[in-house]
Chains A and B, each alone.
Chain A
Amino acid sequence: MKPSELVTIDHLIRFTIFDEDGKTLLKTTNLI
């Protein structure tokens, strides 16, 4: 990350998203 770059949610948080029953991984976001 460059010093001038604006901090966004994607810099702070990575989401690992499961379906409602919590057994199936749907996607993982923001692998920075």
Chain B
Amino acid sequence: MSCSGCTTEHLEKIRQNSFNAKANKDLKEKLSVDKIINLKRGGCFVNTAAGPVQFGMPPETVKDHMTMGCEVPTHYILPTNRFHKRLGINVAEFEFPAYFNFFLRKKQINLICTKEAEEAIRIVFQETLIGPKEHPVKKTLIYISYSSSLQTSSIILMTNQPSLISLKKDLILLLIL
């Protein structure tokens, strides 16, 4: 989901609403407030000895870091609710941070999440990166007819949309063998 067309006010509203208030309060209590850096499109990050650690992954979060001139994090904490139902945005948009880090920086990202979230992410990433593990192949019925007078044969492939292919006699025999 793209935020390219959002206004500044809309982005600010998304940023404020994308926070889990309790988690944000807990985080602020444990850390000095000035160390938490809020991102324009939502989420926030903290610079640590292990590098920046980001909480929440709204769409296009990589752009926020690039425009701020900050290092794009490799450590991400996923919110418990990965989809903000009211705003209709995914707040666990891990794909582009993963691609950016892997293809440009040759690094893995570290997603800090629950077991349930890991399983969901593996299913989604399998589909987006590689494609489905298996997909049904519909049966194809082949009808062969041979016309001795015309010395031609026809193969009718019955698939979703039936098609007719005319072939020479010897090619038909080759197919039968």
Determine if A17 and B108 form an interchain contact, defined as CB atoms under 8 angstroms apart: no
Question: CA of A19 to CA of B114 in the docked complex: distance in angstroms?
Answer: 6
B118 at the A interface (CB under 8 A): yes
How many B residues touch A, CB cutoff 8 Å? 20
Which residues on B sit within 8 Å (CB–CB) of A11?
Answer: 102, 108
- Indicate whether B126 reaches chain A with its CB closer than 8 angstroms: yes
> Please, could you name 30 A-B residue pairs with CB atoms under 8 Å apart, sorted by A?
A6-B130, A7-B129, A8-B129, A9-B122, A11-B108, A12-B98, A12-B99, A12-B108, A12-B125, A13-B94, A13-B98, A13-B108, A13-B109, A13-B111, A13-B125, A14-B108, A14-B109, A14-B110, A15-B111, A15-B113, A16-B110, A16-B112, A16-B113, A17-B113, A17-B114, A17-B115, A18-B112, A18-B113, A20-B114, A26-B115
- Main DSSP-derived SS at the B contact region: helix
Residues of B within 8 A of A29 (CB): 118
Residues of B within 8 A of A (CB): 94, 98-99, 101-102, 108-115, 118, 121-122, 125-126, 129-130
Cα distance A11–B111 in the bound complex, in angstroms: 13
The answer to whether A13 and B121 have CB atoms under 8 Å apart is yes
Shortest Cβ gap from A12 to chain B (Å): 4
Chain A residues with CB under 8 Å of chain B are 6-9, 11-20, 26, 29-30, 32
Least Cβ distance of B2 to chain A in Å?
Answer: 21
A32 to B110, CA, bound (A): 12
